[in-house]
A and B are shown apart, each in its own frame.
Chain A
């Protein structure tokens, strides 16, 4: 009187199989759930009991024990409901044992219907690895189908789940992912003027460089930042799965398709919400949701310094490690950072239209909050002015900028990384002309740039050379790279 059904959970962003074992013992109705379940999992018992009754399956009048294995894996959420119900039914002999050769995830409603849970993607990965079908809530089907070779069987209720588990393989779908059309991305053509900022944005996109824009309120910093995903190359199939998995780990469903994610946490956000955290299960934060795309910090100076400090390492490494006593998880954090800040507390320093009302001391204090090591990590620091005219012709469209960006990003394959992450040795191997090297050395010697700035200017210069179609870095490329670091 034993059956087991596979389910799945995300550990960090790694889908892990969870075996749901059900055993039916002597008569005397009890229902116990073991295997490190947290409170939300323990509530499964009542939902499963009610859902079985609503679906006209008798709940066995016996001692029912359900174990979630491996026991050392912390489990939370309601995604195991469906697997528990099917395990209990199979152990009781109510359904054929063949129905247990699936990976099942889904929350059960009391009426027996299956509700969407974020685990669809994890289930599909585990199922594909095990070579069995996966039964997922209909709403999670799109997410599950992102996984290549997964036999996804979407269901609406418990009875359908049993039928689907026994049935023939689901027909392959024509479009492998993204049935929900992502909202069209904002286009750069909407941005008028702002030649300098557009140039910086294009370089940032092409090389994956972190970008800081300083300018008065309302000058279009946010508008520009939101248009960065639109000029980045779209996510490829594997990257979509990575993004969707990261979102799934945060109990969210990725609906952006192949568009790159764009996250803009508010400056009042907690460290845990930006970096990830949580007391029981560890939930990834904004930096992970933005991984593969853009993390936008508006009003950079308003963010608490300790938050900015703790962002430094993850952005450098491309991953964030969150440790709890005895174990830790690693979430991806390969986001491109774009930040915007006002030039002074009132925001109008250097504004052509509105005069600044700040004291010098106030402005200095404001600047100090952003200064230091974090600032040095922005490869590009530009001062953005108020648009000079809003009546001009529309700017160049995102599509045409993206062509250039995609061409430069294409080199990343051979080089092993986008330009923003190239090592000094790779840059040297690609070629640096003597005048360019001399200019860099002079800039370092005169204190125009720091040692870290030196590497960063070289990377930016590499991107500029790429956009220029040049094989090696020339003097003009370095010169522009230096000028693009001239912000505060």
Chain B
């Protein structure tokens, strides 16, 4: 049964290119597994050992998860270069066009706040946010979607039961609980080894129709992902930054090479519309104009009330409730987005 063979091979947690080479050598996944089981293949003993485990036992361990094999993978992913053969998934696949938000793990406070706002904006316009649930920009973007009541997909470089960094476990579980999912090419229990992250990045790029780079250094995983996305023909957006700031160098390079510069959240949203099509029904109605106005730079309550054109009492009460949840800071008659919890 070919499903069983897929499951056995997937649990070997091999690098994707290695898997592809084996398949090219032997013909298909079933044949690869047969060769390994009969001891004729040259794979290492540890890999052979995991392939020898019965598929039924693996299934039992995967009770709360789904495994998707190649023909069932999302079209965007399957149509691209080097698609994965399988994906482990926990949670539901959200409806809506996927948009990746990626960036540095060591982002500035500004980068974090912007990533969060972009996450919120995408959620509010009915997009699905794809990111890596890493430190920094990834987590901030995911936090943004969750806060705005949207759904996201977190693509991990480890097994989907291995949270890395560990602090993001709560956020990941929250994403699953709010209708999003966590996916990985690697089987449960896989440790977050450095070489696995570029593999993960190609899935992020492949899965998304648009990639937004918030902050990226000249040599960074985010920049590599963006380049991969460009090669796959995805539209890449980059947030411009100070030319002297290392964390923005990558974004500025992308813009030089033709990425769409993000000069305002609204403009970005409109541009994404032109790529993935107009915003769909439900989520658009849920859009709160408040979040388009509150940012990192303090805006006076007075200006906010005027811009929203709603009764001041209502706006103030709403803001204050957001403040109680730490989402915004009201100070000196101004309001701005709350600080994200410092990322270790």
Contact = CB atoms under 8 A, between A and B. Distances in A.
B313 interface: yes
B333 A480 contact: no
B230 to A, nearest CB: 39
A388 B323 contact: no
A479 B321 contact: yes
Contacts of B178: none
B133 interface: no
Given A479-B324, A480-B316, A196 B332 contact: no
Counting chain A residues whose Cβ lies within 8 A of the other chain, the interface size class is 35 or more
Contact of B301 (A196, A467, A488): A196
Contacts of A287: none
A482 B320 contact: yes
B295 to A, nearest CB: 15
Interface stretch (B34-42, B119-127, B191-199, B302-310): B302-310
Contact of B318 (A388, A467, A479, A488): A479
B344 interface: no
B300 A383 contact: yes
Q: Considering residues A196, A198, A199, A464, which has the most beta carbons from chain B within 10 angstroms of its beta carbon?
A: A196
A384 B332 CA distance: 11
Contacts of A475: 321
Given A193-B306, A199-B312, A483 B330 contact: yes
A382 interface: yes
B331 interface: yes
A383 B320 contact: no
B60 interface: no
B333 A488 contact: yes
Interface residues of B, number: 24
Given A486-B332, A486-B333, A194 B313 contact: no
A347 interface: no
A443 B306 contact: no
A214 B312 contact: no
A310 B128 CA distance: 60
Given A199-B312, A483-B319, A487-B332, A385 B324 contact: no
Contact of A385 (B298, B300, B312, B316): B300
Contact of B302 (A197, A479, A481): A197
Nearest to A351: B300
Contact of B320 (A199, A350, A381, A483): A483
B324 A487 contact: no
B334 interface: yes
10 contacts: A199-B311, A214-B333, A382-B333, A385-B300, A442-B324, A475-B321, A479-B320, A480-B320, A483-B323, A488-B332
Q: Which 7 A-B pairs have the closest CB atoms?
A: A383-B333, A479-B320, A483-B316, A199-B312, A476-B317, A479-B317, A480-B317
